[in-house]
Amino acid sequence: MVISILTLFPQVFSQVVATSIIGRAKQKKLVNIRLINIRDFSKDKHRSVDDRPYGGGAGMLLRVDIVYKALEAARIKDLKREKVFLLDPAGNLLTQKKIREMSEFNHLILICGHYEGIDERICHFIDEKISIGEYILTGGEIPAMVITDAVVRLIPKVLEKPQSTIDESFTEDNQLEAPQYTRPVEFMGLKVPEILLSGNHAQINKWRSSEAKKRTGKSEKRGK
Ligand SMILES: C[S@@+](CC[C@H](N)C(=O)[O-])C[C@H]1O[C@@H](n2cnc3c(N)ncnc32)[C@H](O)[C@@H]1O
């Protein structure tokens, strides 16, 4: 898979793409993360990329012509399953289901806005707007990192144990995972549930399924 990120600040991605699971996936060539600097597509001597909004208003907007040029440069002709996402607080809310859909593509192009955002006409050249939540960040870089992290771990062979992506929250019926424990068996009077030490896998599975349902129920109530 190729993930192309269009940004004014490629340097902020350096640690994220080089560390831990994403770093190893890159080394094994399971994913290619391309950082494309939108500023490289500005032609004026100050390399400016933004301008004041027509009609007035606070802040600056990224220019559609410059972002368009960066987008066209990011496209890869031979890759059939390519999809362009604009990070935008007004977009469709990101979920694990959406991440799974994204992981089926060969090429994801993520466009990060900054300042007050991007000239609205960019919407004619993208496939979907994505929001990572109902709050405003300074730029699309953190949302692009969120998507990259969540998608890369679903690429086959990235995780050593593929079962990890099946037995986890938001997978089956959007259910949460059951609580998990490791050593020590007792910490400050808090004991690991007896059933998990029993070695009876049928009973453990039953317990986990019931705990997962309880957790999911509680979390749904919290959201209301
Ligand atoms: C300060 S925000 C612009 C906010 C915009 N003026 C508004 O009121 O909706 C700058 C950029 O950060 C990104 N961004 C901010 N919050 C986001 C969110 N919750 N989800 C996805 N992208 C976000 C977008 O790329 C956006 O263009």
137: CA distance to ligand 1 center in Å? 6
135 lines ligand 1 (CB under 6 A): yes
133: CA distance to ligand 1 center in Å? 10
51: CA distance to ligand 1 center in Å? 17
Give tens-digit pLDDT for 174-220. 899 999 999 999 999 999 999 999 999 999 999 999 999 999 998 77
To the question of whether residue 134 is assigned a binding role by annotation, the answer is yes
Axis crossing angle, helix 20-27 with helix 141-152, rounded to the nearest 10:
70
Q: How far apart are CA 17 and CA 36, in angstroms?
A: 14
CATH number 1.10.287.130 is the correct assignment for the domain at 169-223: no
The model carries a pTM of 0.94
To the question of whether residue 87 is assigned a binding role by annotation, the answer is no
39: CA distance to ligand 1 center in Å? 19
Give tens-digit pLDDT for 45-66. 999 999 999 999 999 999 999 9
Q: What is the DSSP string of 60-111?
A: -EE-HHHHHHHHHHH--TT-SSEEEEEEEEEEEEP-HHHHHHHTT-SEEEEE
Q: Answer for the pair 152, 22: CB distance below 8 angstroms, yes or no.
A: yes
Q: What is the pLDDT of residue 174?
A: 84
Residue 66's φ and ψ, nearest 5 degrees, are -75, -45
Residue 222 has pLDDT above 90, yes or no: no
218: CA distance to ligand 1 center in Å? 31
To the question of whether residue 137 is assigned a binding role by annotation, the answer is yes
Q: Which of 59-68, 112-121, 135-144, 167-176 is predicted least confidently?
A: 167-176
CATH number 3.40.1280.10 is the correct assignment for the domain at 2-152: yes
Mutate to test the pocket of ligand 1, among 84, 88, 119 (most ligand atoms within 8 A of CB): 88
60 lines ligand 1 (CB under 6 A): no
Average pLDDT, the chain: 95
117 lines ligand 1 (CB under 6 A): yes
Mean local confidence (pLDDT), 160-170:
87
Residues of the chain with CATH 3.40.1280.10: 2-152
Residue 125 has pLDDT above 50, yes or no: yes
Tokens 């993208």 belong to which residue? 126
To the question of whether residue 176 is assigned a binding role by annotation, the answer is no
Residues of the chain with CATH 1.10.1270.20: 169-223
Report how far apart the first and last C-alpha atoms of the chain are (Å, whole number): 38
To the question of whether residue 136 is assigned a binding role by annotation, the answer is yes
70 lines ligand 1 (CB under 6 A): no
To the question of whether residue 133 is assigned a binding role by annotation, the answer is yes
Higher pLDDT, 197 or 165: 197
Looking at residue 177, its amino acid is E
138 lines ligand 1 (CB under 6 A): yes
